A and B are shown apart, each in its own frame.
Chain A
């Protein structure tokens, strides 16, 4: 970022922290803090005591975690992958026109070293910026592409003297590639130009299984586990120089089944909803239009989360209004979530289905109190936040 841009952003800050630090807040913060601590033993609006909430949390920390991290933050799951070396594009295979058009606009490279697969793709069909991740066992490399004209500025940003060590240049698809390593680490990256873009390839840390899907995962150096890339200079160089230009067909064929390609979203959503009861007013077309998700797991979370939001809202409304029919309909619909095909297939990749099922169980067990009570995070807020109902296409509250 240029200094000018930094300054522009800083100037746009409506509440600089040093000004906030000097505000006279009187005794309000003290009262607030004391009230929170004193409130702990109280029964929460949905009938659970705080202590019980803690036990539940210990039993299933993943559940809250997944609700937050998947639905709200959009943390991805590494989905099942197709082996690139098994891919043999079928002659005349028909791809959606949108997919072909989009694939033509991005830099398409695939590793020729055996054993590597595309494990994840993010905006992989974005002509300007996008990324794919290749994985092989416990090693992974993410390739991100940018407009070529940005290369000089990015290079300057990356070439940081004592922070990065530059080692011998190499060649990728006929272009010179520059290799770097962050000082005293096994964190490698490389940059090279290709066509209208330049690519930056970075090794990815191996996250121990017990840390995957953790709530608000710590970043490097933030109290998380020690991270290693399992690369050394030679193996990183070998991987990078093994990259070869790929045809549109090979590129599209190499995408894991978890990636929803352009033009496939509407059909994919329809398939996901085939055995899912939707609440009145549920508008699946908005989900199609608004969804930027192209990973099947994420799309599944967005779709089922929206449905669940709708049923939960109906349930809360019905309880307030004393409408038994509406309440029972919502409970019954959510109870059927155990059999939703999309959730069953998602269980292999993460715990989001458990989040939905936990809410369904809770609907059977509990009744929410009025959220008007002061001081407590209400159950309604809990699921609105936990399921990421904001921005979903569930019927409004």
Chain B
């Protein structure tokens, strides 16, 4: 049974619209360009296979982040690479990042070690808000929570992070890598 043309068109539109956002999500949390490329490949493959389940419109991106989150968790364990095409995307990314780093400024303050002290869920909720710019309802979609629960958990995570920060003595700024280590 072949996919229908409307399926293809919808998927292609979904991919074109969101693959950069998913790539960004993966780069912010994975170890490097190859891992991020793998996450993009796996995430959209799941989306293609579950196209009927992908929400329409703006709801699609939180759904994709939700898949990427699980793909990433799985990928960390399996350390498997996708096929040649994902490898090609990874190579392209690696080359680009070598010549054009994504950030020039070093993260400062005690945020890295402080984030490391939070639970992975608290951390992810904070980062979905701060890095992906998601609203609580969208965070709920990514995390599989209800909107009200996401709101209260976001508040709680913020409270915990502030508390950790206030308990820390000033220290040297964490290196960029330390931040990525934290979010893995």
Interface residues of A (CB under 8 A from B): 1-2, 5-6, 8-17, 19-21, 23-26, 28-29, 31-33, 35-37, 40-41, 49-51, 53-54, 57, 61, 64, 68-69, 72-75, 129, 131, 142, 144, 146-147, 150, 154, 157, 187, 200, 202-205, 207, 215-223, 292, 371, 373-377, 380-381, 384-385, 389-391, 397
> Chain A contacts of B63 at CB under 8 A?
216
B172 on the interface (CB 8 Å rule)?
no
- The answer on a CB contact under 8 Å between B77 and A20 is no
Q: Which residue of B lies closest to A13 (CB)?
A: B131
- The answer on a CB contact under 8 Å between A33 and B12 is yes
Which of B56, B70, B137 has a CB less than 8 Å from the CB of A219?
A: B137
- The answer on a CB contact under 8 Å between B144 and A75 is yes
27 contacts between A and B (CB under 8 A): A9-B111, A15-B103, A17-B24, A20-B24, A24-B92, A28-B92, A28-B93, A33-B11, A36-B41, A36-B45, A51-B1, A57-B53, A73-B143, A75-B145, A142-B152, A147-B159, A205-B147, A217-B140, A219-B136, A219-B137, A222-B59, A374-B83, A375-B45, A375-B85, A376-B45, A377-B46, A390-B76
Q: Are A221 and B147 CB-contacts (below 8 A) given A15-B27, A29-B19, A157-B155?
A: yes
> Chain A contacts of B109 at CB under 8 A?
8, 11
> Chain A contacts of B169 at CB under 8 A?
none
> Chain B contacts of A222 at CB under 8 A?
55, 59, 62, 137-138, 140-141, 147
What 4 A-B pairs have minimum CB-CB distances, sorted nearest first? A374-B83, A219-B140, A51-B1, A220-B147
Q: Which residue of B lies closest to A221 (CB)?
A: B137
- The answer on a CB contact under 8 Å between A390 and B74 is yes
| A201 smallest CB distance to B (angstroms) | 10
On chain B, which size bracket covers the interface? Answer: 35 or more
| A217 smallest CB distance to B (angstroms) | 6
Q: A64–B107 Cα gap in the complex (Å)? A: 39
> Chain A contacts of B140 at CB under 8 A?
217-220, 222
Q: A12–B118 Cα gap in the complex (Å)? A: 15
Q: A57–B45 Cα gap in the complex (Å)? A: 15
- The answer on a CB contact under 8 Å between B92 and A37 is no
- The answer on a CB contact under 8 Å between B82 and A375 is yes
| B176 smallest CB distance to A (angstroms) | 6
B3 on the interface (CB 8 Å rule)?
yes
Q: Within residues 105 to 143 of chain B, which ones have a CB less than 8 A from any CB in chain A?
A: 105, 107-109, 111-112, 115, 119, 121, 126-127, 130-132, 136-141, 143
Q: Which residue of A lies closest to B120 (CB)?
A: A391
> Chain B contacts of A21 at CB under 8 A?
20, 24
> Chain B contacts of A74 at CB under 8 A?
121, 144
Give the secondary structure class of B's interface. Answer: helix
Q: A306–B92 Cα gap in the complex (Å)? A: 38
- The answer on a CB contact under 8 Å between A397 and B108 is no
B16 on the interface (CB 8 Å rule)?
yes
Which of A26, A216, A223 has a CB less than 8 Å from the CB of B144?
A: A216
* Proximity bits, B26-55, A CB within 8 Å = 1, else 0: 011000000001001110111011101101
| A295 smallest CB distance to B (angstroms) | 14
> Chain A contacts of B89 at CB under 8 A?
25, 28-29, 32
Which of B21, B130, B147 has a CB less than 8 Å from the CB of A10?
A: B130
B100 on the interface (CB 8 Å rule)?
yes
Q: Which residue of A lies closest to B33 (CB)?
A: A23
Q: Are A131 and B152 CB-contacts (below 8 A) given A33-B16, A375-B83?
A: yes
- The answer on a CB contact under 8 Å between A389 and B28 is no
Q: Which residue of A lies closest to B134 (CB)?
A: A219
- The answer on a CB contact under 8 Å between B78 and A381 is yes
Q: Which residue of A lies closest to B114 (CB)?
A: A8
Q: A54–B50 Cα gap in the complex (Å)? A: 8
- The answer on a CB contact under 8 Å between B28 and A15 is yes
> Chain B contacts of A397 at CB under 8 A?
77-78
Q: A386–B68 Cα gap in the complex (Å)? A: 13
Which of A1, A23, A187 has a CB less than 8 Å from the CB of B100?
A: A23
- The answer on a CB contact under 8 Å between A146 and B138 is no
> Chain B contacts of A40 at CB under 8 A?
2-3, 48-49
> Chain A contacts of B159 at CB under 8 A?
129, 146-147, 150, 154
Known pairs A14-B180, A37-B8, A51-B1; list 8 more (Cβ under 8 Å). Answer: A14-B28, A74-B144, A205-B146, A221-B137, A221-B147, A373-B83, A377-B46, A389-B74
